[in-house]
Copies of this chain bind each other. A is one copy, B any other.
Amino acid sequence: MLTFTVEKTDSAARQGTLVLPHGTVHTPCFMPVGTQGSVKTLTPAEVVETGAEIIVCNTYHLYLRPGHKRIQAAGGLSKFTGWNRPILTDSGGFQVYSLAALTRVTDEGAEFQSHVDGSRHLFTPELVVEIQEALSSDIAMCLDECPPYPVSRPAAETAAARTSLWAERCSRVREPETNLFGIVQGATYADLRESSAKSLVSLDLPGYAIGGLCLGEASDVTYDMVGRVAPLLPIDRPRYLMGAGYPEDIVAAVRLGVDMFDCVLPTRNGRTGTAFVSSGRVVIRNSRYADDLGALDPTCDCYTCRNFTRAYLRHLFVVGEALGPRLLTLHNVRFYQRLMQGIRAAIEQGVLESWSRDFLDRCRSSSDPTGEANDR
């Protein structure tokens, strides 16, 4: 139920096609995040218009509300949400640890209290596969244990071993048509990463993710880990770096052989007033934009940039109009799709290295200094 074809390579970078039950995805791809079945503030039609071909939803959230049985009865998640295209569901491991209360993890699974109503639940590897099958996810993720950063070596070792054990159990119960991805753990310990990758590869899964990175460690550590793990993963399976969202991290990881990305950065930054533009970042509330009658990003073709001035966008944020977060989110999601289109074209033409250098130079040319402070 998944066909992945590498069409072109440029050093370790790959440009390919991923055919899934609900549609085709061109890789390297960026998947906007729609945790609760909605890419925040946007309609499915708008997400399609940005060029996105697949989105990420969350098993933990959807299991709690509205419940996977309800979504199953509605014909699966793609139909329920009106997106009607491929969806990858994260297993919820990460959310259990970061959102739920009183989480107790044993080899059996992760017991937690709902952040919504305090009710108690147990996520086992088997249950998260069952939930994702009820959702008809195009790609289902194994339950993993994702420790925070930094983490001690013994804790990282336990988490990686448990993640492998759980992957085996997930793999055993999955329906043959379920596209189950394993998740490489091991924190920032190179040997743990390598043994985690090897044990998952032995399960012969349709795809592999690298989890537990982009959690606050230095970029060179992230790249080092990705650079060690990627070559250990099967060349004919898609590789997904979970949570990597800064354009520079995406470019770097593509060059290390990663095919898929997701992050809340474009949507969250959009909602809170920071736009990714070709020259860097724009913090739209900045008073310097109060009389700026130019487009948010003059090089962008999105609805926001074609129709509104920075002065009006700033006004919307200053007075708290919901249209502001919508328009900046729309732009940011489009920005990321244009980034991926640029990356794919550069791989096709065999010029990824020079393209990356030019892209990153432009990005650094005029960012608002307070850009990251606004990323809350």
> Which residues of chain A have a CB within 8 Å of any CB of chain B?
36-38, 40-45, 61, 65-66, 70, 73-74, 80-82, 290-291, 293, 303, 307-309, 311-312, 314-316, 318-319, 321-323, 325-327
Contacts and interface: CB of A to CB of B under 8 A. Distances in A.
A81 B59 CA distance: 39
Nearest to A324: B38
A37 B307 CA distance: 14
Number of copies of chain A assembled together:
2
A61 B319 contact: yes
A198 to B, nearest CB: 39
B290 A65 contact: no
A322 B41 contact: yes
B290 A323 contact: no
Given A290-B66, A291-B70, A80 B311 contact: yes
Contacts of A80: 309, 311-312, 315
Contact of A315 (B44, B65, B307, B311): B65
Given A70-B311, A80-B311, A309-B74, A323 B291 contact: no
Nearest to A271: B322
Given A38-B321, A290-B66, A326-B326, A311 B74 contact: yes
B293 A74 contact: yes
Contacts of A41: 322-323, 326
Contacts of A303: 43, 45
A44 B327 CA distance: 12
A82 B44 contact: no
A81 B293 CA distance: 12
Given A291-B70, A311-B80, A325 B322 contact: yes
Contacts of A311: 66, 70, 74, 80
Given A66-B290, A303-B45, A322 B319 contact: no
